């Protein structure tokens, strides 16, 4: 092979690599099996007795995400908290009100029932 043929092969390969990266319009996401089952059920209901193109998973997800409010996001975040996390948040809130409060004093207040959620 001469130098000219090598350059044309290299350019063709690089253009092919660039096209594949640019053509990718979707990316995979991981969901639990139960989430997948719910999604499939919703898609079946949405596409039942329809005229026109089928409703796709992306259509359903994009519309649903637009309906989420800040309250919904807060509820989702609260579901991820462990009891230890909730205890830490309560301690921080009480410590702001009572400057210089130690954890030991906080636990005492909590046991005595003087601090509630």
The pLDDT of residue 68 is 95
Residue 70: exposure state from Cβ atoms within 10 A (0-12, 13-18, ≥19):
exposed
**How many whole angstroms separate alpha carbon 35 and alpha carbon 38?**
5
pLDDT digits (tens, 9 = 90+) for 32-80: 999 999 999 999 999 998 788 999 999 999 999 999 999 999 999 999 9
Q: Which residue has the tokens 């996001």?
A: 73
List the chain domain ranges: 29-67, 69-117
**How many whole angstroms separate alpha carbon 90 and alpha carbon 74?**
16
3-state SS string for 29-93: CCCCHHHHHHHHHHHHHHHCCCCCCCCCHHHHHHHHHHHCCHHHHHHHHHHCCCHHHHHHHHHHH
pTM, full prediction: 0.57
């Amino acid at each position: 092979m001469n130098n000219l043929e090598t350059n044309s092969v290299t350019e063709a390969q690089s253009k092919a690599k660039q096209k594949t990266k640019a053509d990718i319009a979707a990316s995979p996401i991981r969901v639990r099996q139960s989430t997948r089952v719910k999604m499939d059920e919703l898609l079946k209901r949405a596409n039942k007795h329809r005229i026109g193109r089928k409703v796709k998973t992306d259509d359903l997800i994009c519309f649903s995400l637009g309906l989420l409010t800040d309250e919904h996001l807060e509820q989702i975040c609260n579901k991820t908290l462990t009891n230890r996390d909730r205890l830490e948040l309560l301690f921080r809130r009480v410590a702001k009100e009572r400057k210089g409060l130690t954890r030991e004093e906080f636990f005492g207040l909590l046991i005595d029932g003087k601090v509630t959620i």
